[in-house]
Amino acid sequence: MGKRLPTTPRSKVRAALRQLWLRSRERAAAIKRDKYTCRKCNRKQSKAKGKEFKVEVHHINGVKWERLIDGVYEMLLCDPSLLITFCEDCHNKVEKS
């Protein structure tokens, strides 16, 4: 097994964000709205054996993955010197103030 990195690898962050997207209500709502049909060729999703066909959801404005991942590192996966440990009660008090 290799040496453990001091930070979470970008590939793991991207994979986690992608999984979140694949399970999101927004993605499901878009597929349902379009009746599981490709908006370009009108082909419908099928799970029939031998005729499998999947539809995918596309972001019209694109996804800036690198900017998104940079934001996660800046705001969430920041340097440990910027983090502190509290019990649940103290954490709630600090969050409210």
The confidence score (pLDDT) of residue 1 equals 61
Rg (CA), the chain: 20
The series of mean pLDDT values per 10 residues for the chain, 97 residues long, is 83 95 97 97 95 95 94 93 94 93
Q: What does the pLDDT read at residue 3?
A: 81
Per-residue model confidence (pLDDT) at position 6:
85
Tokens of 94: 């600090």
Question: Which residues, 6+ apart, have CB-to-CB distance to 7 below 8 Å?
Answer: 73, 77
Identify the H or E element spanning 66.
helix 65-75
| Separation CA 79–CA 75 (nearest Å) | 10
